[in-house]
């Protein structure tokens, strides 16, 4: 869960590193003044290099991409961008004088002539680089590249830093070309190091080879919908309960029984004390038919713990030491009249961590949570509360591992969490397309007429996890979710335009210094054949928006589209 501060974002024009990547020389001169006329000056020179990414960017340096990789949606009116965790990266090298070295180029199908891998020996070498190292490249025709390449001034306006409310600084490189409407587009983050001179990009007479540092592909289809469209199309409601399952009993006979996982639409009214030695003792009845829900939970806990050999061994050894300590105390009381023999050993940390994880349903297979697909159909949102009795059975089964022949001196199992858990399951393509969402839930029911009201209080999000492709599980501390909000994170804000009746003409109500959308008269985006003249449009906006200085930070504030919020209110 993110608090209000994490929703805020500050735009910064650039984040210069202390030293850019390259070769450096330090020269130190020492001059001693003495009475004689001898020259007592000594000079020391040392050379060193500052290394930085040049041919590769580690996947861990990439925070996110927009539109999301492999996504299908209505992206025709937005400029793609890539977010980098290393906020200094675009300025660690130079494309030209005071120009960042990274550019995000958007290609339509058929525009890239060749793509592959080469060795660094085919280019120049910097200190510390191996000639055998390989890099990815693309080859593009000069005529194609001239139509879509940003100018040096464009590169400056299309690169900035976003400082989020939680203290992170992220670099953002924005493309200057709109995606191909109704078709696929491919984005490449390319190196422009040293390729811009006083007159712009140095075009060769033949095809141009570019170093590709990152790439992704997406599909632009108006029918695919945008972020709010996909979520608003969800069918929301409580999660179903029991399903019938076929299974074999211990005597080999086939049977049909009821089963319900730990996720229940309403609080489960069951006792929270289970002192059993086997799963069969927990078989119950539901509507006159056998109910194996708690028995399955107990047996699952036992099997999961046995599979985790390290935890199982730690649990067994701890129980044996605990029994030995208790037996020693008893003997001393009987023979010496005192029970002092040292305290029983504390439960090992790996065992405690294991029980804590089980208490949040970690390691539980998905088909135990949702035993039938009909309970979670496509494009659905299902709310639930976690059955604490089911959790306790799961942990009791886990604790049964390592029992000796006698349970007289066995320790008690770790106490289950006291706080009730609730949550939701979301099955939608939005889970894949927008992986970095802000999710907030409240136990308070807001009226539909108060859709714009901020949540008065939020539940603690204890486990957000994509447990299967396209399926998101979120657990909160609380008795139930009455209001649920989905937001996009500030770093996912994108540059967007509004189409007009003329498909080749775009409009924009930029944001002023306060962040409000304003009309700027006849000033409209300079977009020709899908390519934005970023530097020219920034110049056009400077005066109407009341700026004396208009850097990439001001341009970012003016260009971003609003953060979409989708709210679900329990009936």
For 476-488, the pLDDT digits (tens) are: 999 999 999 998 7
Average pLDDT of the chain is 85
Q: Can you give the pLDDT at residue 5?
A: 44
Confidence of residue 2 (pLDDT cuts 50, 70, 90): very low
Which residue shows structure tokens 């294991």? 354
Q: Can you give the pLDDT at residue 502?
A: 67
Task: Please give the structure tokens belonging to residue 242.
Answer: 């029991």
The answer, yes or no, to whether residue 115 has pLDDT greater than 80, is yes
Q: Of 326 and 354, which is predicted with more confidence?
A: 354
Q: Where are the beta strands (DSSP E) in 387-458?
A: 421-427, 437-442
- Alpha-carbon distances, residue 157 vs 106, 270, 551 (angstroms): 17, 62, 7
Q: How many CB atoms lie within 10 A of CB 330?
A: 14
- Alpha-carbon distances, residue 35 vs 40, 43, 168 (angstroms): 11, 21, 59
Which residue, 239, 247, 288, is CA-closest to 264?
Answer: 239
For residues 90-104, average pLDDT: 93
Q: Can you give the pLDDT at residue 565?
A: 82
Task: Please give the structure tokens belonging to residue 79.
Answer: 């400029």
Q: Can you give the pLDDT at residue 1?
A: 34
Confidence of residue 3 (pLDDT cuts 50, 70, 90): very low
CA angle 231, 235, 238 (to 5 degrees): 120
CA angle 119, 124, 128 (to 5 degrees): 80
The answer, yes or no, to whether residue 276 has pLDDT greater than 90, is no
Find the helix packing angle between 309-336 and 349-359, rounded to 10°: 120
Q: Enter the pTM of the model.
A: 0.72
The answer, yes or no, to whether residue 283 has pLDDT greater than 90, is no
Task: Please give the structure tokens belonging to residue 128.
Answer: 């510390």
For residues 511-522, average pLDDT: 87
Q: Is residue 31 within 8 Å of 41, Cβ to Cβ?
A: yes
Task: Please give the structure tokens belonging to residue 266.
Answer: 């309403």
Q: Is residue 278 within 8 Å of 265, Cβ to Cβ?
A: no
Confidence of residue 221 (pLDDT cuts 50, 70, 90): confident
Share of the chain above pLDDT 70, in %: 87
Q: Of 247 and 425, which is predicted with more confidence?
A: 425
The answer, yes or no, to whether residue 336 has pLDDT greater than 90, is no
pLDDT tens per residue, range 25-53:
888 888 777 666 566 778 888 887 777 78
Cα(348)–Cα(341) distance, rounded to whole angstroms?
20
For residues 143-162, average pLDDT: 94
For residues 413-438, average pLDDT: 83
Which residue, 66, 230, 237, is CA-closest to 564?
Answer: 230
> Out of 78-92, 340-354, 476-490, 531-545, which region has the weakest mean confidence (pLDDT)?
340-354
Dihedral angle, C-alpha 439, 444, 450, 454, nearest 10 °: -50
For residues 297-321, average pLDDT: 92
Q: Can you give the pLDDT at residue 381?
A: 95
Confidence of residue 246 (pLDDT cuts 50, 70, 90): confident
Q: Of 251 and 117, which is predicted with more confidence?
A: 117
Q: Is residue 483 within 8 Å of 455, Cβ to Cβ?
A: yes
């Amino acid at each position: 869960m993110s608090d209000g501060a994490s929703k805020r974002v500050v735009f910064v024009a650039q984040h210069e590193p202390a030293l850019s990547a390259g070769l450096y020389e330090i020269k130190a001169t020492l001059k001693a003044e003495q009475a004689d006329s001898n020259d007592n000056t000594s000079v020391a020179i040392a050379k060193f290099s500052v290394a930085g990414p040049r041919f590769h960017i580690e996947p861990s340096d990439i925070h996110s991409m927009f539109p999301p990789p492999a996504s299908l949606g209505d992206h025709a009116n937005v400029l793609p961008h890539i977010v980098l965790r290393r906020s200094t990266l675009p300025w660690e090298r130079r494309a030209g004088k005071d120009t960042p070295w990274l550019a995000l180029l958007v290609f339509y199908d058929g525009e890239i002539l060749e793509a592959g891998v080469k060795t660094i020996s085919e280019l120049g070498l910097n200190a510390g680089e191996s000639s055998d190292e390989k890099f990815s490249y693309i080859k593009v025709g000069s005529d194609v590249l001239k139509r879509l390449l940003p100018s040096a001034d464009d590169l400056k306006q299309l690169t900035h830093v976003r400082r989020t409310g939680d203290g992170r600084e992220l670099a953002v490189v924005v493309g200057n070309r709109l995606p191909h409407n109704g078709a696929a587009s491919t984005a490449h983050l390319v190196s422009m190091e040293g390729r811009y001179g006083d007159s712009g990009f140095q075009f060769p007479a033949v095809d141009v080879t570019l170093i590709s540092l990152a790439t992704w592909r997406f599909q632009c289809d108006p029918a695919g919908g945008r972020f709010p469209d996909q979520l608003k199309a969800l069918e929301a409601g409580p999660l179903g309960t029991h399903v019938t399952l076929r299974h074999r009993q211990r005597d080999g006979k086939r049977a049909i029984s009821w089963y319900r996982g730990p996720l229940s639409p309403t609080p489960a009214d069951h006792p929270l004390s289970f002192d059993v030695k086997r799963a069969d003792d927990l078989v119950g009845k539901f509507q006159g038919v056998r109910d194996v829900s708690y028995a399955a939970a107990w047996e699952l806990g036992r099997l999961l713990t046995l599979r985790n050999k390290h935890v199982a061994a730690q649990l067994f050894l701890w129980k044996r030491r605990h029994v030995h300590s208790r037996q020693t105390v008893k003997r001393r009381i009987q023979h010496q009249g005192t029970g002092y023999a040292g305290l029983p050993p504390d439960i090992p940390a790996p065992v405690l961590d294991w029980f804590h994880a089980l208490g949040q349903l970690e390691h539980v297979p998905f088909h135990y949570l949702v035993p039938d697909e009909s309970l979670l159909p496509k494009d659905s949102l299902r709310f639930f509360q976690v059955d604490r009795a089911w959790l306790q059975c799961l942990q009791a089964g886990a604790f049964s591992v390592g029992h000796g022949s006698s349970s007289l001196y066995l320790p008690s199992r770790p106490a289950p969490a006291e706080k009730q858990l609730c949550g939701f399951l979301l099955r939608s393509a939005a889970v894949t397309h927008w992986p970095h969402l802000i999710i907030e839930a409240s136990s308070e029911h807001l009226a539909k007429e108060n859709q714009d009201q901020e949540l008065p209080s939020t539940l603690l999000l204890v486990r957000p996890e994509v447990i299967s492709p396209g399926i998101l599980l979120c657990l909160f501390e609380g008795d139930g979710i009455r209001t649920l909000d989905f937001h996009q994170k500030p770093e996912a804000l994108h540059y967007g335009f509004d189409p007009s009746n003329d498909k080749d003409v775009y409009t924009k109500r930029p944001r002023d210094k306060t962040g409000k959308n304003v009309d700027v008269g006849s000033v409209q985006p300079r977009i020709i054949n899908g390519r934005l003249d970023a530097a020219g449009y920034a110049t056009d906006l400077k005066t109407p928006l009341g700026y004396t200085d208009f850097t990439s930070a001001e341009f970012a504030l003016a260009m971003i589209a609003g953060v979409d919020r989708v709210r679900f209110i329990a009936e």
